[in-house]
Structure formats: structure tokens, C-alpha cells
Amino acid sequence: MPLITCREALNQAMAEELERDPNVVLMGEEIGQFHGAYKVTEGLLARFGPKRVVDTPISEAGFVGLGVGAAMLGLRPVIELMFWSFYSVAFDQILNNAANIRYMSGGLINIPLVIRGPANGGTNVGATHSHTPESVLASHPGVKVVCPATAYDAKGLLKSAIRDNDPVMFLENTILYNDKSEVPAGEYLVPLGQADVKRPGTDLTIVAYGRAVINSLKAAQLLEAEHDVSVEVVDLRSIRPLDEATILASVRKTHRVLLVEESKPFCGVGAQLAYLIQEKAFDDLDAPIKRVSAIDAPAIYSAPMEKEQLPHPQRIMKAVLDML
């Protein structure tokens, strides 16, 4: 299979869906002539034209609202946010309207809308450009939340998201855009709501998503090489819908679980997972559930300090060894 970057995989997914379905349109700031702030939409304007790849003004409330209306009328908009931090400007459009219209219309009106873009810290761009809002988004019924960790998953999940009839919040990580993995050249889908065991193990389960998966895999490799510890790494891929069965099966196999996320700990995804595990697999646990998350403060501008604020392999390793 071809070895391509996550950026290229996302580009392929959008190009294939634009080709397959004339109702798919792309919208966002600088996605056309400038090829996107992170060049994820490079070449798509020239290929599909300005009616399918639409440059918008710098007004998230405006173009997200436009996308919601277009979805109500049968189009399938894919909207790029330059940073997911700016979702707060369109909070009403996303979480008060898009999330609720299908329910409030008695199922008569679908909202096949994807909002995608980077949601991560670690790039030294300050607190207002480094939000990780997945737990906020996932707390609203009516939206789906996806966080890919690899190029393979990014392409397959994005294609599934574009074909879904509900609004899908697609959170990417700029640090992963250049990461490469094997991606089939042909058509394939990764279903929403299906986790993936990225690495099998027997001593402890790590449950993670996004870039935390990559750092957890690095920690697992070091733990095996240096301490003869076998760690299973479960990649959620989707936060909502959540694959409870895969999580619980892994916990029942290893009897210990560490939850790793780059989001803040208070009311985070890890808190929900911890409740799920203690409710449905308490008797299978041989140790308390532990968490590794971002340090609970606004994103630190200083590059060395921000690096320490986020989960990294050494922090993850220490937490695993403490549990064992």
C-alpha cells in the first residue's frame, strides 16, 4: 500500500467524496486559492471549481451557519476551521442548531455536515489557538465526534463522516499532518464508533485517541524494551459514538487501565471513560483506574513548558510503572 501523510490522506478523502457525490461542497477560510492554512485542501479548487470549493470570509458564525442551512436543504458541506478554537464563535450554530434540528424536526430534517480542522496544543501558538474541545462537543446529543491518530484512519473516518446524515465534528492534530502510514489507494471506509486495538498486550490497557495514541504506542515500545511490560493500546477513533465493547473487552483482558488524553482533565473524555469502566467492569479491575492528561491550565506559550504540559511518552511510562 502507498505510504502517505495524514495531510494527503485527508485531501484524498475529500477529493474522492467530491468526485462521488455532487452534493458535497467544501467551505472555509483560505481553503481554495491558498490551499488551506495547513494545505489540506491543496489542488481541490483547481480540480472542482469555486462552486464546490468555497473561500469564505473570516466569520465562523457566518459560514458555519451557511453550512447548517445548506445541509438542511440537501447538500453535504465539509467546513474547515483554521483552528477548532474558533468553534466558540459558532457555538450557537453548531451545538444549538446543527445538533438539535434532526430531533426537533421529528427526524424529518437531516444535517449531513462535517466540521473539520486542527484541535491541539503543542505548537506554541498560545492559549486561544490550542483548544481541545472534544469533551464539550461530545456532551451534546446530536453530534458525532471523531479524532483520528493515523493517516489510514483519517481518510477512512473522514469519508464515513461525509456520508453520515448527522453533524460530525472531525478533530485533527497539526503535529500529525506529516505522519505517514500505509493507506489503500482504492475505496475504503472506517466506520464511526469503532475503536481499534493498535497494539495488543497483557499487563495493562491504555485507552487514548488522537496524538495521545502515538505517544502511548511509543511508551508501550519503551516499556516492553526496558521493563518487559506488555501494554495494550486501544485507539478510540470515535469519542461519540463510543465503542464500549472494545474498551471493556481490553480491560477484562489486562485488568488494569490507564486513560491518556491531550485534553484537560476536568470533565474530560477520561472522566466519562473512568465512569464507564467502573460501572461495567469494576470486578475485572486489579488496580484503580489512572489518567494522564494535559496539565489543567490554559495552553502555555513557552515551548519547553507546553511540551511538559501535554502527555508525552515519559509521563505515560511513569504512570504505567506506578500502576504495576
Q: Would residue 129 show up in a list of annotated catalytic residues for this protein?
A: yes
Give how far Cα 194 sits from Cα of 79, 148, 190, 274, Å: 24, 12, 8, 19
Tell me the per-residue pLDDT of 63-106, one tens digit each, with 9 for 90 and over.
999 999 999 999 999 999 999 999 999 999 999 999 999 999 99
Q: Per-residue pLDDT for 24 more than 90?
A: yes
Of 16, 30, 42, 129, which residue is the catalytic one?
A: 129
Q: Per-residue pLDDT for 185 more than 90?
A: no
Burial 139-178 (b: 16+ CB within 10 A, else e): ebebbbbbbbbbbbbbbbbbbbbbbbebbbbbbbbbbbbe
Helix (H, G, I), strand (E, B) or coil at 77: strand
Mean pLDDT, the chain, rounded, equals: 97
Of 60, 134, 261, 306, which residue is the catalytic one?
A: 60
List of domains in the chain: 3-182 (3.40.50.970), 196-323 (3.40.50.920)
Tell me the per-residue pLDDT of 190-207, one tens digit each, with 9 for 90 and over.
999 999 999 999 999 999
Q: Would residue 187 show up in a list of annotated catalytic residues for this protein?
A: no
Tell me the per-residue pLDDT of 218-276, one tens digit each, with 9 for 90 and over.
999 999 999 999 999 999 999 999 999 999 999 999 999 999 999 999 999 999 999 99
